Chains A and B, each alone.
Chain A
Amino acid sequence: MIDELEQLYRAKLNEFVRTAAAIAGDRETGRDAVQEAFVKAVRTRRRYRGDGTLEAWVWRIVVNAARDARRRAKPEGALPDPGGHDDPRREPLPLRLLTDRQREVLFLHYYADLDYETIGEALSIRSGTVGATLSAARATLRRALAKEVAS
């Protein structure tokens, strides 16, 4: 199992870091989250039951680590995010219009090129929901970008 985890780490490190960085707020935090996630995956590998793909199981751990890192990075006493999700980052405005789920689905699809099924396993949602969420996110971004271009 450790060999498989190492193989996955080496093969997809760029995708893991990019996605985790997008969720966590910056590249350094994302990279730390990936390291932390793989430490946990190695330690708890016996809890992988084989009822989904190993990659999806690892992605779930990486996403959780990145979410935790984002929460830790939120400044104490920070005002609520206008987009509705507590987000310490300075993101382009269109991305701030998305919900947390929309953002995570978008990042996993775009940065990691994961299929709907794997994204669904990683986020514990159905693959049909992944497709609908991704469509909604794209539509929101398209509208926001069109306004930016027009203005």
Chain B
Amino acid sequence: MSEALIDDLLDELVPPVEQLPRWDDVVRRARRLHRRRIGLASVVVALVAVPSGYALAHAFEGTPPPASVSNAVSVMNAMTDQANAYAAAQGFAAHEPHAIGSTVHGVVQVQTADGPVDLWAAASDSGGTCYLFDWEADGTTASGVARAGGTCDERLPSSGLGVAWEWSAEHPAYKVVYGRTTLAATTIELRFADGTTTSLPIVEHLFLGVVPNAQQIVSARALGATGAELAEQPFG
């Protein structure tokens, strides 16, 4: 009898009601957030002069990946295989590229109070670029795979500048900002709602930064060596 009472109690707490799916709302909001992606600087990089930022970035460039990152690339490729197989089963000709494991190397490392965030890059088997980043503090899965997220040959806007940011529950105080540009830019300048700006160095056409989650980014500009604006991505 008491089990039935427990059932009644829980039914009373939240009665079963048929929910109307609102998947369009999910997709629309996810895209809106995607459009708000910005090139943001790291807290540390934001506080140092641009030349020091360059020095920090280039100090990490070329670093060989640890096994956990190589494993993450292998997993990413395995997932690509699954996606390609699924697409083929659905009758689509789309073929997602793979990262070439032997070319994985460090690009930019940003120091934060939560530990370093690393940006890794590799050539793709379709001639493009793959990249992924991970918080070193996140460690690995039980099978030794870094908890990294990445992509290959992402399609850039016609401006040639693609900026993204991600927030995670593991590091709630920060946003990780990253992206790629095909322009001959040397710096990404971020402008915040409070009127301040910060700069991110571009290394191998990629950039990475970490900013306080509370910072609202207004725009990101790709600047050339002379400071000339090559592209701008507004956010709002």
> With an 8 A cutoff between CB atoms, is B151 at the interface?
yes
Q: Are B149 and A35 interface neighbours, CB within 8 A?
A: no
Q: Are A145 and B6 in contact (CB under 8 A)?
A: yes
SS class of chain A's interface: helix, strand, loop or mixed?
helix
Q: Could you count the A-B residue pairs with CB atoms below 8 Å apart for me: how many are there? A: 98
Q: Does B18 contact A (CB under 8 A)?
A: yes
Task: Give the interface segment out of B20-28, B38-46, B211-219.
Answer: B20-28
Interface residues on B, range: 35 or more
Give 1 or 0 for each of A14-48: 1 = CB within 8 Å of chain B CB: 10011001100001001100010011001110110
Q: Closest chain A residue to B10 by CB distance?
A: A110
Contacts of A9 in B (CB 8 A): 21, 23, 26
A39 close to B26 (CB less than 8 A): yes
- Residues of A contacting B34 in the complex (Cβ-Cβ under 8 angstroms): 43
| Interface contact A142-B6, CB-CB below 8 Å | yes
Q: How far is the CB of A61 from chain B (nearest CB, A)?
A: 8
State whether A51 touches B168 (Cβ < 8 A): no
The answer to whether residues A51 and B141 also contact, given A35-B22, A46-B149, A46-B151 and a CB cut-off of 8 A, is yes
Contacts of B150 in A (CB 8 A): 46
Of the candidates B3, B13, B78, B151, the one whose C-beta lies within 8 Å of that of A95 is: B13
Asked if B9 contacts A51 (CB within 8 A), the reply is no
Q: Which residues of A contact B13 (CB under 8 A)?
A: 22, 91-92, 95
Chain B positions 70 through 113: 1 when the CB is less than 8 Å from some CB of chain A, otherwise 0: 00100110110001001000000000000000000000000000
Cβ–Cβ < 8 Å partners of B156 in chain A: none
Q: Return chain A residues, CB-CB under 8 Å to B142.
A: 51
Known: A50-B79, A142-B2. A13 touches B19 (CB 8 A): yes
Interface residues of B (CB under 8 A from A): 2-3, 5-7, 9-10, 12-14, 16-19, 21-23, 25-27, 29-30, 33-34, 72, 75-76, 78-79, 83, 86, 141-143, 145, 147-151, 166, 168-169
7 smallest CB-CB distances across A and B, nearest first, come from A42-B30, A47-B149, A46-B149, A142-B2, A51-B141, A38-B26, A39-B29
